[in-house]
Chain A
Amino acid sequence: MVVKVYGFLQAACPQRVLLCFLEKDIEFELIHVDLNTLEHKKPEHLLRQPFGQVPAIEDGDLKLYESRAILRYYSTKYADQGTDLLGKTLEQRAIVDQWMETETNYFNAVGLPIVINLVVKPRLGEPCDFALVEEQKAKMEKIFDVYENRLATNRYLAGDEFTLADLTHMPGLRYTMNETGSSSMVTSRPNLNRWWNEISARPSWKKLMEMAAY
């Protein structure tokens, strides 16, 4: 059965889910929710995602939201299909979880205000808080220092293999590289740069970028 993904191709959180489906060869149908006309805040969408966000999925009787929860569910359910994104042992999986948490709690928490101010607010005609952007960028440098150190001795964040830990960072990193004037934060750090180049060369990422037609 084809999984229905309610979302928007250029938004980071739906991209996370689509990227996982591409890695795992899971068939999906993207149903466009138009963020520009605030469709995600309207009653019909609120029934699928009561916090008024994207994505939400429907898979037969199963309904689920929160992109990272969706990643975990499908990576577990289809462990034997496509790329193994969770690691093989409990200990490996926990390290994957650890670096998924760092994406949520550090990278995304610090990066989201940067994206909102530099990318979203201009579209809505709202003023940008440049002081906040500078503050957040300084915090991001420190976070990237930790990643740089980690990737000096690990090919991927959780170890030797590409996992959800790497995948979950990719939509946000695209903003870092292309839309917020921060690409030097990555290119100036050799291990981070090596890692980004490797993961963004994956066929699934290229396919997603083609679909999103930037």
Chain B
Amino acid sequence: MVLKVYGPHFASPKRALVTLIEKGVAFETIPVDLMKGEHKQPAYLALQPFGVLPAVVDGDYKIFESRAVMRYIAEKYRSQGPDLLGKTVEDRGQVEQWLDVEATSYHPPLLNLTLHVMFASVMGFPADQNLIKESEEKLAAVLDVYEAHLSKSKYLAGDFVSLADLAHLPFTDYLVGPIGKAYLIKDRKHVSAWWDDISNRPAWKETLEKYSLPA
């Protein structure tokens, strides 16, 4: 039975999708209609009790939280495709470190920008301009740290591409596109080079080609 990913058109599920494609793992996707509130219906809540995306079903096994799914796939299919966890326990420690930086420092201000710039009118709340300004400042401060780090390291966890880099793809794609703040990336030489590198990987291009949000 083929692994299934729910909600492929949205950003967080794409962390799982790009990992599956990098590792050459077969999968199916099942759309979830957020506009109709499908994610809050009992059938979906049975798979993801917090009512958010993604949920993944692999035969009898269920798992949610996109970064947990990334780790699961990277470990299960360790011997095929690029090793996205590094070679040693110490490499993996660095991968975990930067996955956590993405989750706790990079993602929260970027999520605020995503909600208030891209989705406020669609979701029916007023865009909070103060929050947008504050979030941009926080993200800029985090990106300054990334700039210094990437001037000494090709990828976040070392000289190999890992889950830590891939985790940044979906929401940064929003940042440089519909959010309209590509300068945050492009004005930083090493961050820009790193972004060009990871966003041009075939697996990411395929993810966007097949599962972009309909216009």
Contacts and interface: CB of A to CB of B under 8 A. Distances in A.
B68 A143 contact: no
A26 interface: no
B34 interface: no
A105 B96 contact: no
Interface string B46-82: 0001100000000001011101110110011000000
Interface of B: 49-50, 61, 63-65, 67-69, 71-72, 75-76, 89-90, 92-94, 96-101, 103-105, 108, 142, 145, 148-149
A64 B97 CA distance: 7
A68 B93 contact: no
Tell me which of B67, B76, B94, B97 has the highest count of chain A C-beta atoms within 10 A of its own C-beta: B97
Interface of A: 50-51, 62, 64-70, 72-73, 76-77, 90-91, 93-95, 97-98, 100-102, 104-106, 108-109, 143, 146, 149-150
Given A76-B92, A91-B61, A66 B72 contact: no
Contact of A101 (B61, B68, B89, B145): B68
Contacts of B76: 90
Given A50-B149, A62-B90, A104-B103, A68 B65 contact: no
Contacts of A77: 89
Nearest to A101: B65
A70 B94 CA distance: 9
Contact of A50 (B89, B104, B148): B148
A109 to B, nearest CB: 7
A68 B100 contact: yes
B50 A146 contact: yes
A139 to B, nearest CB: 11
Give 7 closest A-B pairs by Cβ, nearest first.
A101-B65, A69-B96, A66-B100, A97-B68, A94-B72, A73-B93, A69-B97
A112 to B, nearest CB: 9
29 contacts: A51-B105, A64-B97, A66-B96, A66-B104, A67-B100, A69-B93, A69-B100, A72-B96, A73-B90, A76-B89, A77-B89, A90-B72, A91-B61, A94-B68, A94-B69, A97-B65, A97-B68, A97-B72, A98-B63, A98-B64, A98-B65, A100-B68, A101-B103, A104-B100, A105-B65, A105-B103, A108-B104, A143-B50, A150-B49
Nearest to A146: B49
Interface of A is mostly: helix
Tell me which of A95, A102, A105 has the highest count of chain B C-beta atoms within 10 A of its own C-beta: A105
Given A50-B145, A104-B103, A143-B50, A98 B93 contact: no
Contacts of B99: 69
A72 to B, nearest CB: 5
B51 to A, nearest CB: 9
Contacts of B71: 94, 97
A88 B196 CA distance: 39
Given A51-B145, A68-B96, A97-B65, A104 B104 contact: yes
A77 B92 CA distance: 11
Given A51-B105, A94-B71, 5 more contacts: A67-B100, A73-B96, A93-B72, A97-B68, A105-B65
A209 B177 CA distance: 48
B92 A73 contact: yes
Contacts of B105: 51
Contacts of A62: 90, 93
Contacts of B148: 50
Nearest to A145: B49
Given A69-B93, A90-B75, A105-B103, A98 B68 contact: yes
A106 B51 CA distance: 12
A98 B65 CA distance: 6
A105 B12 CA distance: 12
